[in-house]
Amino acid sequence: EFISNCLIIREGENLLMRARKDGLFNKQMLEVMCVASNEWIIDCKSEDKIVLECNQEKFKAYQILNLDSPKENLEIRVSKGSCEHNMILPLRNKIKIVVNTLNINKLGIIGHEGFNKQHQVLGNVDEFKYQNNNMVLIRGWIGDSFYTIKDIYLCFTNEDGKCVFEKSVTRRYRMDLVEALKDTKYLYSGFINMVEYQSGSDLKVEVICYTPDKMNSIELGMLKKNIDDVNVCDIHIIDSKKYTVEDKYLEIRNTPSVLECYDFIDEISDNLVLYITHSFGGGADLYLRKKAEDMIHNGQSVYQVVYQPDFHQYELINMKDDMHYYFDDINILLYLVSMKAQHIYFNELVSYPNIKGLIDTVYNIKLIHPHIQLTYLVHDYFCICPRLNLINVNDRYCGLPEVKDCDICLNSANFDQSKSIVEWRSLNAKLLNTCDEIICFSNSSKKYLVRVYQNLSHKIKVIGHVIDELRVPKVENDNIITIGLLGQLCKHKGMEEVKELIQYIHSNQLSKYRIVCIGDAQDMRNDSVFFATGKYRRDDIANLVEEYNIDVFFMSSVCPETFSYTISEIQSMKRPLISYDLGAQGERTKIYKLGKVIPLNAKPDILLNAINELCEGDMLNG
């Protein structure tokens, strides 16, 4: 009954592939990529045939896919069951499936928990809104209670019941349905389109999708005739969504979408390094680009995932070749990329819309691919509190208060992913415990993490950033003490404290002081005491210090920094520096020979006295 020269594979307890050589059963491993609890991809290599023994009662049917050419049938022989081409194979207790893989490189297997049961149309019309006389915005979703949807069509029918126009539109992931509908086959069937038209008759608009045994449809609304000529019917569908990986590679054919992405898997590099990050720039982005540049120089393949809030898409970028791919579903993206990944870095998770789902996916990936190294980078304190800078609702440093105080603050922050700090930290503990290492960039950051996650101390490494030093500027003595601020000035960077200092200088007519901000200062206006240069290039910092004769820098940040590139830049220019005794800035300023710290919330007179001491000491020394 069995074929010789077949191989065996075991993946969990769901599938067992047996083979016989020389009349005996031998067990040998085939390469398998487990992409979900019921989905596998098998690398067939040079095997002529594979025998699958399916003995998991959980699944009522199996689907075997030819992943090299999905539309071509497989040559399959089934015992104790039936076979219709390469479609779904219903179980009769236990079955053995023999697949001829002579000309196949990759085989897909899907276990189905139900088959041919009653199913119904799901969906909703969220919006059918006229923008003007000839343009309508359409938004909603459609799904099926059992099948995954391959394509969604907009169908336009005239008054005689005749379809005058039908077009496939882009499926969109519906983040807002995560809680209501747990199954992603429904979530990935949203649509949003603008319909521009001219018609001499009213048109009924429907959204439709197909399952193997029926057409599903939902009526969206009526397009009212907007011209007199009954013979005219001109419809144009505007889809503003970017080109996506799913559009290019997926032919879902009523199956989970992951398996149909094998072309994409082949396209990305082996043993790649992946950074998960945000789109906001700043120090975390500077760190990533520097690290990626070094890795690429050493021959490594580096990719980054960036969440784009404006499009609700996840952009995957090959940082060497600058190739861009777009996903609606972070879970699909990570499952696919993990098949080729050797190291995943969590650079920044701020702004990601479903942190719980992301962490659950990472946890499952680590179970499937335990060899992948996971590293969490502490660029901020998002894993401790969603208010990532440890600034409370009053824009002050919170000091990590009691849980009840944290919950009050969190509930006032309009953060929709968690209203409980205990829940939030429990969720992040799952991620941090899944990671192999946690990298802090200062001892101060490590102390904050250990204070909240006491059992993680052994995983934490403290590695400071290394930056290219700036040249040492030449500053002339002009009998005015110019206090420099470096970087964007906003509330958590001490904008209110700087305003108070400016007011103090004005009120006391202290003409010997002025303040220059190298950077933007939000809504602050320049006057006789304060001046902001606006945006600057890093290479121009030393020139600007010379141009404005900056004597001393004030690191005005009122939140605990995790490292502070600006501190490094100031120190590399060998300029006097004063900061609050807080976070990494206080830690680093204390050990800087031209540095001095003052208490957080120190009044302007204390700040100016410290500045005078620093400037006098600097002048005496050189």
Query: What was the pLDDT predicted at 11?
Result: 38
Helix (H), strand (E), coil (C) string for 344-355: EEECCCCCCCCH
Q: Please report which helix (H) or strand (E) contains residue 514, including its range.
A: strand 513-518
Judge if 261-462 and 481-621 fold alike in CATH terms.
yes
Does the structural domain 9-112 have CATH classification 2.50.20? Answer: no
What CATH number was assigned to the domain covering residues 481-621?
Answer: 3.40.50.2000
Query: What was the pLDDT predicted at 348?
Result: 95
Q: Where are the domains of the chain?
A: 9-112, 121-241, 261-462, 481-621
Q: Enumerate residue ranges in the chain where pLDDT < 50.
A: 1-27, 80-86, 92-93, 240-260, 619-620, 622
Query: What was the pLDDT predicted at 425?
Result: 96
Please give the radius of gyration of the chain, using alpha carbons only, rounded to the nearest integer. Answer: 31
End-to-end CA distance of the chain: 93
Query: What was the pLDDT predicted at 400?
Result: 93
Query: What was the pLDDT predicted at 186?
Result: 57
Query: What was the pLDDT predicted at 172?
Result: 73
- What is the Cα–Cα distance from 35 to 264, expressed in whole angstroms? 14
pTM for this model (two decimals): 0.65
Query: What was the pLDDT predicted at 213?
Result: 58
Which residue reads 């029926």 in tokens?
A: 214
3-state secondary structure of 156: strand
What CATH number was assigned to the domain covering residues 121-241?
Answer: 2.60.40.10
CATH class label, 261-462: alpha beta
3-state secondary structure of 586: helix
DSSP-assigned letters across all residues of 250-281: ---TTS-GGGGGHHHHHHSPTTEEEEEE-SS-
